[in-house]
Amino acid sequence: MNEIQINTIQSLLEAPKKIAIIGHKSPDGDSMGSCLAIKHLLDKHGHTTYVFMPDAHANYLDWLPGSTSILNYQDNQIRIEELLSEIELIFTMDFNSLNRVGDLQKVLEQKLQENIPFVMIDHHQTPDDYAVVTYSDPLMSSTSQMVYHFMECLNWDSLLDKDIATCIYTGILTDTGSFKYRNTTPTTHRVTASLMEAGADNLKINNNIFDANSENRLKLLGSALKNLRVLKEYHTAYITLTQAELNHHHYQKGDTEGFVNYALSIEGVNLAVIFIENSDEKIIKISLRSKGAFPVNQMANKHFHGGGHINAAGGRSHDNMENTLSYFQSILKHYKNDLTYE
């Protein structure tokens, strides 16, 4: 953050306030980690905080310190709107546009009209300009890492404790793909070392996220891998999952997290995509991953109403699975040269 941003934040937080902390729809490890880390941090600084999510988080994140205090708008609409009527400051975490919060968008836009100040902390490209402070850095590994630097900028390092460190570590771990993505920098590793020194148990965090699979989730993974298709000409692989397959394996939110990475792990594959049918929303949810410099965020934005990072992005299709796959394969010829590299 620059000096003006730091001074503005210090002024906003000078006196105790009622603060809402908002994450994005379908909250992942970075959304949950950054929101809860900020909550613990602001609580220790004397503020009253509430964490609101547009919908429920995945079960594999239930263990995070403070997760039981989170309210999701899908199940607690009236209560959240009551609390927001008293809010004096709003932090939006890990998203750069209010269209990422689903039905909460209209409520937050109303707070903007009431001149409630917003603070954005996020690492996605091209942020919107709704906040009085926009702390944005697309080169950062995660929004959770940005929370750590936020503490440094405000000279709040002494407030770092085990709970805050655990939340930040979780966000970094998940958004760097266990420290293997391009967004992992030497600074990222120095930050995680400080988090471990503050009490973050790296072994426990890894086990809670990656080694707590249900039998149903592993069987669903088996179905996903059975549906794997490789398009060698385009250095591409994709996976499909229908609503019937999800239902058969008693799908729980978060069960498909990381499935697309199995396709990306194939030798010679530089683009991997998973297409997941959602009959409730009548969409095909799409997650894209890439190796090297191929920008899946641009592909997601141009073709699938989405966006994200260079090597990790998401989108959606409002067509059926068959037509979505046909369209996807039809556009690959335009990217063939970009996908052909060692």
Interhelix angle 77-84/104-113, rounded to 10 degrees, is 10
- Report which of 35, 36, 38 is spatially closest to residue 24, judged by C-alpha positions: 35
Q: Are residues 195 and 74 part of one domain? A: yes
Q: Are residues 240 and 142 part of one domain? A: no
Q: Are residues 222 and 202 part of one domain? A: no
Model pLDDT, residue 255 = 93
Q: Are residues 49 and 193 part of one domain? A: yes
Question: pTM of the full predicted structure?
Answer: 0.91
| Percent share of the chain, pLDDT over 90 | 93
Q: Which residue has the tokens 């310190």?
A: 65
The Cα-based distances of 313 to 38, 139, 277, 285, 300 in angstroms read: 25, 15, 17, 11, 7
Model pLDDT, residue 116 = 98
Model pLDDT, residue 83 = 97
Q: Are residues 178 and 64 part of one domain? A: yes
- Domain end, chosen from 164, 186, 210, is at 210
Q: Are residues 21 and 166 part of one domain? A: yes
Q: Are residues 189 and 66 part of one domain? A: yes
Q: Are residues 116 and 24 part of one domain? A: yes
**Tell me: the pLDDT tens digits for 211-243?**
989 999 999 999 999 999 999 999 999 999 999
pLDDT bin (cut points 50, 70, 90) of residue 340 is confident
pLDDT bin (cut points 50, 70, 90) of residue 92 is very high
Model pLDDT, residue 216 = 96
Model pLDDT, residue 72 = 97
Average pLDDT over residues 196-208: 97
Model pLDDT, residue 342 = 59
Q: Are residues 43 and 87 part of one domain? A: yes
Average pLDDT over residues 285-301: 94
Q: Are residues 239 and 127 part of one domain? A: no
Model pLDDT, residue 309 = 87
| CATH number, domain containing residue 151 | 3.90.1640.10
CA–CA dist 63, 67 (Å, integer): 7
| CATH number, domain containing residue 275 | 3.10.310.30
Model pLDDT, residue 57 = 94
Q: Are residues 163 and 25 part of one domain? A: yes
Find the domain containing 141 and state its range.
Answer: 3-210
- Overall number of domains in the chain: 2
Task: Report whether pLDDT(341) > 70.
Answer: no
Average pLDDT over residues 254-259: 92
Task: Report whether pLDDT(292) > 90.
Answer: no
| Percent share of the chain, pLDDT over 70 | 99
Average pLDDT over residues 123-136: 95
Mean pLDDT estimate for the chain: 96
84-120 burial, b at 16+ Cβ within 10 Å, e below that, comes to: beebebbbbbbbbbbebbbebeebbeebeeeebbbbb
Q: Are residues 156 and 260 part of one domain? A: no
- Domain end, chosen from 177, 194, 210, is at 210
Tokens of 93: 């975490």
- Domain end, chosen from 210, 235, 255, is at 210
